[in-house]
C-alpha cells in the first residue's frame, strides 16, 4: 500500500456538563471502554500497513508512535497544518471521536481511496448498518438514490492537490451556516434537488451527482467511498452519546 500519513483531528472542547461527568478536559481525553478516545483511534491507525506516521492535532498527551501538534483556531486550519506537516502525498484524516474505529475499517477506506483515482475522498455509510450495530445512538442521515446514508469521519487527500485547492473548500466551510451564500457556492439546482430528495423522492439525487458538482467547485476529482463499516460513521461528539454508550456497556 502507498505510504500514507494519518492525521487525527483532535480539537474540540467539551461543555461543562461533559467535563463534570468524565473529568476530561477535551473530547480527545474522554474515556470510552478501556481508553480515551484518541487512543482508540491511534491504535486502529497503528495496525494498518502503509500508514508510516501519525500526527495528532489537538489537546492530547504525547505518546509512543505518534506526534502531537498544538491545534489552530478552526477545523480547516488544522487540516492545512496536517497537510503541511505530512511527509507523504497520501494523507488520511480521521476525527478523534471514533472510539469504535478498527484497523479493518480504516484499511478498507484507505485502499478504496488509493484505487479511486480521485484527489479527495470521503466516507459514507448506509444508515441501516449504523442502526443495527449501534441502536442506542442517533445519526444525521440523508436520503439519496443509493439509499439512506450518513457521513463517515474519515477523509483522504492527495497532499499537493489539496493544499493548492484548500481555499475553495474554506469558502464552502465559511458559507455552511448561511443558506443564500451556500446556495451560491454549490448551486441552487443541487440545493433544490437535495431538498426534494429528502421530502419527496430520494431518486432525485445521487451520490454521483453530488460528486460531480463538488468536483467542479473544487477543481479536482472527488469520490464518496461507500463503506460497510458502521464504526466509521459512529462518533461520540456530545454528552448524550457518551451516556448512551456507557449505559449500553453497563458502566
pLDDT tens by residue, 199-230: 888 888 888 998 998 898 888 999 999 999 99
| Fold designation for 4-249 | Spore Coat Polysaccharide Biosynthesis Protein SpsA; Chain A (3.90.550)
pLDDT-derived band at 79 (thresholds 50, 70, 90) equals: very high
pLDDT tens by residue, 7-42: 999 977 888 999 999 989 899 999 999 999 999 999
Percent of the chain surpassing pLDDT 90? 59
For residue 98, give the C-alpha cell.
471514533
d(CA 93, CA 117): 17
d(CA 58, CA 8): 8
pLDDT-derived band at 174 (thresholds 50, 70, 90) equals: low
- b/e sequence 10-40, b meaning 16+ C-beta within 10 Å: bbbebeeebbeebebebbbbbbbeeebbbbb
Residue 143 near residue 151, CB atoms below 8 Å: no
- pLDDT of 182 strictly over 70: no
d(CA 104, CA 38): 18
pLDDT-derived band at 109 (thresholds 50, 70, 90) equals: very high
- pLDDT of 179 strictly over 60: no
Average pLDDT over residues 107-119: 96
Residue among 149, 152, 146, 142 at smallest CA distance from 194: 142
d(CA 34, CA 13): 21
Does 170 or 218 have the greater pLDDT score? 218
Average pLDDT over residues 51-78: 92
Per-domain boundaries in the chain: 4-249
The answer to pTM > 0.85 is yes
Q: For 10-24, 92-106, 226-240, which range has the lowest pLDDT when averaged over its residues? A: 10-24
Residue among 54, 67, 75 at smallest CA distance from 166: 75
Q: For 39-48, 169-178, 242-251, which range has the lowest pLDDT when averaged over its residues? A: 169-178
**Distances from the Cα of 61 to the Cα of 67, 80, 83, 167, 168, angstroms:** 9, 21, 21, 31, 33
Amino acid at each position: 500500500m502507498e505510504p500514507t500519513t494519518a492525521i487525527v483531528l483532535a480539537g474540540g472542547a467539551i461543555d461543562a456538563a461533559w467535563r463534570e461527568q468524565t473529568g476530561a478536559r477535551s473530547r480527545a481525553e474522554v474515556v470510552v471502554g478501556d481508553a480515551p478516545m484518541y487512543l482508540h483511534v491511534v491504535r486502529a491507525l497503528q495496525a494498518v500497513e502503509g500508514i508510516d506516521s501519525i500526527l495528532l492535532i489537538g489537546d492530547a498527551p504525547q505518546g509512543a508512535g505518534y506526534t502531537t501538534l498544538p491545534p489552530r483556531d478552526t477545523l480547516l486550519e488544522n487540516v492545512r497544518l496536517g497537510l503541511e506537516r505530512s511527509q507523504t502525498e497520501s494523507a488520511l484524516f480521521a476525527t478523534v471521536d471514533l472510539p469504535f474505529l478498527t484497523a479493518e475499517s480504516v484499511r478498507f477506506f484507505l485502499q478504496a481511496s488509493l484505487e479511486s483515482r480521485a484527489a479527495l475522498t470521503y466516507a459514507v455509510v448506509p444508515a441501516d448498518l449504523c442502526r443495527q450495530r449501534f441502536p442506542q445512538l442517533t445519526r444525521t442521515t440523508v436520503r439519496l438514490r443509493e439509499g439512506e446514508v450518513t457521513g463517515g469521519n474519515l477523509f483522504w487527500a492527495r497532499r499537493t492537490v489539496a493544499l493548492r485547492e484548500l481555499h475553495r473548500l474554506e469558502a464552502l466551510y465559511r458559507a455552511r451556516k448561511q443558506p443564500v451564500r451556500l446556495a451560491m457556492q454549490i448551486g441552487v439546482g443541487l440545493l433544490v434537488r437535495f431538498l426534494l430528495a429528502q421530502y419527496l423522492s430520494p431518486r432525485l439525487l445521487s451520490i454521483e451527482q453530488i460528486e460531480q458538482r463538488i468536483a467542479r467547485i473544487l477543481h479536482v476529482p472527488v469520490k464518496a467511498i461507500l463503506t460497510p463499516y458502521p464504526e466509521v460513521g459512529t462518533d461520540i461528539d456530545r454528552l448524550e452519546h457518551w451516556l448512551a454508550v456507557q449505559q449500553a456497556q453497563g458502566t
